Amino acid sequence: MGTLLNGRYELGDTIGSGGMGRVHRATDTRLGRSVAVKILRVGGGEDDATARARFKAEATLAGSLHHPGIAQVYDVGEDESSPEREPFIVMQLIEGTPLSTLLAERGAIRPDGVAKIVAQVADALDTAHGAGIVHRDLKPSNIVVTPQGRAVLVDFGIAWSAGSEPLTQTGSIIGTAEYFSPEQAAGRPATARSDLYSLGIVAYHCVTGTSPFRRETPVATAMAQLTGDLPPMDDSVPPALRTLITSLTQKDPEDRPSSAAAVAALANSETSPATEIIAPATSAMPATAPVPQPTSVQPAAAAAPPPPPVLPPPTLPPPSRSDEGERRSSRWLVVAVVAILLLLAGVLGVQALGGGDDGSPAADATTQTSDAPTEEEPTSETPSEPTETEPESNDVTVDRDALIGLDYDDAADELDDLGLSARRVDETSSAPEGTVTGVSPSGTVGRGSTITLTVAKAAPEQTEPTAETPSAPTGPAGDATDKGPAGGGGPGGGKKP
């Protein structure tokens, strides 16, 4: 018989461990069910008090959420038999495999499976964001894939809610450098759109098999998050999914989708209920991933296989920017320089304690090639006559500010004139019904791209019980429709199940 915790939870094998503690498979002897017990490693001092407070906050925040895509918290307490009175959380035991392990073992995941992961995680995030909770550390090791094909979001160890006080030192970076947002890299507060950025980086990793901004050091990785361009995706990735990932990973939060619900609706339009993510292993995994140190980042391994070659699709933005894009890039560059100087001075206290993502290091750590495109050498040694003509650019500029406030049809016509497709996502808003409230992506895009227009709709009116007159049909928030030039744009919209 294993150790009996507080006379109720019989501890079994250790199924995860890390900088903050360990996770045991256990049995709730009172209810006769299998659970996961996460036990905090304590050592005394001020850091111990902060860790205990964070641990309690995790239990409180996660325990307030109820969604099939979020691991459930059952109980919280302290080990009464331990002199240190180690805190513990009793959580749902998820039978499945961390997404990080699947990526390490199998490489890239097929696009329809990635779309399903994005849809399910975005739906779970919508519940968390609706409760005012930001995850702040979304990464493959915090997503567990069950044998039934359900992606479950776990480990709210550094989550934050609007009603809670931060549990970290002022100016410290929270999250994992490979997946956190540019605003987190700059030391600014994370928002719901920060989680969406991280989801976009996870999706990119899934479709390509590589983490886009991993560099040799945490500081270099943070700098890449701030200023680096997203490497192009292979043409095998459907255009609509490429556009969604590109919009999620915009540096400016305002250029990302407006909500997790909108992301779920768009991703659901790229998949079907019968889609299988992947055939995962059936080993048991705790509701929390193997307890990484949540505030630390992991440098890339020194040696790694080269990334697979990718072909740059014509729909991704080139290095050139519009005037608006140049201003934003300049602003991010200033923030980046300041943030990196602070990092080098040790103010931000990034700790390289092995708490990054939990996949196989050899498979996860990939040396990044240069982001700059390689110029081709001329094939002729004889100089040719210079010409004044240049090839016509395949890029156009989407002016976000000019589209905000227009009726959807007018905005869609504007995009059509530019050779772009429009995808509509309705959301309840106080803005005039039918007007555009969000545009993603904006700035420089390739012709034929699909632009997501978020359109305001009125809240449903309460009808009298005796009234039988049907109201005008309105789709739920998340209905997506396409409108674009013939032969262009992505597939039609879908409804969030």
**CA 104 – CA 96 distance, rounded (Å):** 15
Quote the CA–CA distance of 367 and 369 in Å, as a whole number: 7
CB 348 within 8 A of CB 341: no
Record the tokens describing residue 43, joined without a space.
Answer: 């050592």
| Annotated catalytic residue 195 | no
Amino acid occupying residue 398? V
Half-sphere exposure (Cβ direction) of 412: Cα atoms closer than 13 Å: 20
How far apart are alpha carbons 191 and 194 in whole angstroms? 5
Residues 207-218, buried b or exposed e (16+ Cβ, 10 A)? bbbbbbbbbeeb
CB distance 122 to 258 below 8 Å: no
Of these residues, 79, 126, 137, 482, which one is catalytic?
Answer: 137
**Contacts made by residues 217-222, CB under 8 angstroms, sequence distance 24+:** 217/299, 218/177, 218/297, 218/298, 218/299, 218/350, 218/352, 219/340, 219/343, 219/344, 219/350, 221/177, 221/178, 221/297, 221/299, 221/300, 222/173, 222/177, 222/185, 222/297, 222/339, 222/340, 222/343, 222/350
Q: Active-site positions?
A: 137
